[in-house]
């Protein structure tokens, strides 16, 4: 979910340079200095596992005492307009948080004018949630996908491809600085890292933008591990994306329906498998990708596919939070109106549905989503017990980042 990605042009010189970087990077091996960090990473993973156990009791108590709409609200992450407490969009989402209609907010460039302004805004919104810490989320990958930039008082960070070319020690320093700035701005959920493989140089949303650490899934996993660890040190949750793998695609799911049937590779699962097995996956973001051979028997993208969730839960053994990519992106919205997409994504097994309000503005987004869920439960299209499982996963992750 990269709602305000720049339009793609035809810079062939830049594409050629990207190709040389990708080719060089494909020859890398996992550096020994990354392995030396394993003890620290294990300590972080053990801490988060202990926090998950403590959070379980909180989940049970909250589920027993919470109103139904507050349970559903925790499954909703929404974008909004506004910069200050005086703006109507900010007033709306603050009310949504206070009354339990939203579990969190996602911030874009339109919400960030300066370091002082964003700290005041997140400071206003963080205590506003009724009984639950809100997720205050941002896409801060570095390169073309970053919200905290020199323009608004922060440091420009390199794209993933360049991070990998600089080596593991540089990666630690870069991501320590990034996580520090994300935390200082008041965010507790960074929608990264990208763990897509760089399999197609002209891929408009991954390869051309240098958002992948490389072609080698082991290298991708190791640099993603550094990203996750740096953020965990600051008590910031992260989301591996874009599952099951956007690196082989020919199109951008922001702009079109994307079908990877026949071109997607099972190696694209390898970074997820490794990070999940090592306890280094807080959340995983589903992508708007159709693959009729693996997860789209009904021609549904992974975001709406129970088969994709089954792959993640059963094959990869992931029991953390699954978040959809933005349901207003064309990869879903061209065929599925928002209400239908919300129901299908939750029915498939997503724990959080993300509605960015960038490409299209949905009035009263959070309340619309809660009403949609309530009506679907009443019709038997969504199972209350399964939604409560999602609620508990979300509450557990919030507990681990301080809520």
Largest CA distance in the chain: 59
CB 98 within 8 A of CB 128: yes
Q: State residue 67's pLDDT score.
A: 78
254 is annotated as an active-site residue = yes
CA angle at 317 for the pair 133 and 1, rounded to the nearest 5°:
50
Which residues in the chain show pLDDT less than 70? Answer: 1-66, 128-130, 403
Rounded Cα distance, 126 and 367, in Å: 19
Structure confidence by residue, pLDDT tens digits, 369-397: 999 999 999 999 999 999 999 999 999 99
Alpha carbons within 13 A on the beta-carbon side of 345: 32
pLDDT of residue 174: 98
Give the model's pLDDT for residue 68: 87
In 3D, which of 338, 266, 267 has the Cα closest to residue 304? 338
Q: What gap in Å lies between CA 336 and CA 213, rounded to an integer?
A: 32
Residues in a beta bridge with 237: 189
Whole-structure pTM over 0.85, yes or no?
Answer: yes
Is 228 in contact with 194 (CB distance < 8 Å)?
Answer: no
The catalytic position among 325, 326, 336, 351 is 325
End-to-end CA distance of the chain: 24
Q: Residues 6 or more apart from 231 whose CB is under 8 A from it?
A: 175, 179, 182, 190, 237, 238
**165-188: per-residue pLDDT in tens?**
999 999 999 999 999 999 999 999
Q: Enter the tokens of residue 41.
A: 């990473």
All domains in the chain, ordered by first residue: 28-400 (3.20.20.300)
Q: Which of 254, 259, 326, 336 is catalytic?
A: 254
């Amino acid at each position: 979910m990269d709602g305000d990605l720049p339009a793609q042009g035809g810079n062939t010189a830049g594409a050629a340079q990207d190709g040389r970087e990708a080719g060089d990077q494909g020859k890398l091996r996992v550096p020994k200095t990354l392995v030396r960090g394993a003890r620290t990473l294990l300590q972080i993973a053990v801490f988060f596992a202990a926090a998950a156990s403590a959070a379980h009791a909180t989940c049970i108590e909250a589920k027993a005492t919470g109103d139904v709409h507050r349970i559903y609200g925790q499954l909703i992450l929404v974008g909004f307009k506004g910069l200050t407490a005086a703006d109507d969009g900010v007033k709306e989402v603050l009310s949504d948080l206070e009354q339990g209609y939203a579990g969190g907010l996602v911030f874009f460039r339109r919400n960030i004018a300066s370091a002082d302004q964003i700290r005041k805004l997140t400071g206003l919104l963080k205590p506003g949630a009724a009984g639950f810490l809100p997720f205050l989320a941002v896409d801060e990958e570095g390169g073309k996908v970053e919200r905290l930039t020199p323009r608004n008082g922060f440091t420009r960070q390199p794209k993933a491809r360049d991070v990998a070319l600089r080596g593991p020690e540089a990666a630690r320093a870069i991501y320590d600085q990034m996580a520090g700035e994300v935390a200082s701005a008041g965010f507790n959920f960074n929608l990264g890292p990208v763990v897509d493989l760089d399999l197609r140089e002209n891929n408009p949303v991954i390869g051309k933008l240098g958002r992948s650490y490389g072609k080698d899934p082991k290298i991708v996993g190791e640099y993603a591990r550094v990203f996750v660890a740096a953020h965990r040190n600051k008590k910031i949750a992260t989301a591996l994306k874009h599952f099951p793998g956007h690196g082989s695609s020919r199109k951008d799911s922001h702009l079109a329906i994307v079908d990877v049937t026949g071109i997607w590779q099972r190696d694209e699962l390898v970074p997820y498998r490794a990070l999940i097995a090592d306890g280094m996956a807080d959340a995983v973001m589903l992508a708007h990708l159709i693959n009729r051979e693996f997860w789209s028997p009904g021609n549904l993208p992974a975001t709406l596919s129970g088969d994709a969730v089954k792959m993640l839960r059963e094959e990869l053994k992931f029991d953390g939070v699954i978040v959809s990519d933005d349901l207003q992106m064309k990869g879903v919205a061209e065929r599925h109106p928002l209400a239908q997409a919300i129901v299908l994504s939750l029915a498939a097994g997503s724990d959080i549905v993300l509605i960015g309000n960038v490409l299209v503005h949905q009035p009263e987004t959070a309340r619309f989503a809660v009403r949609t869920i309530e009506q679907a439960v009443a019709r038997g299209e969504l199972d209350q017990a399964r939604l409560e499982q999602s609620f508990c996963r979300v509450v557990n992750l919030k507990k681990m980042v301080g809520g």
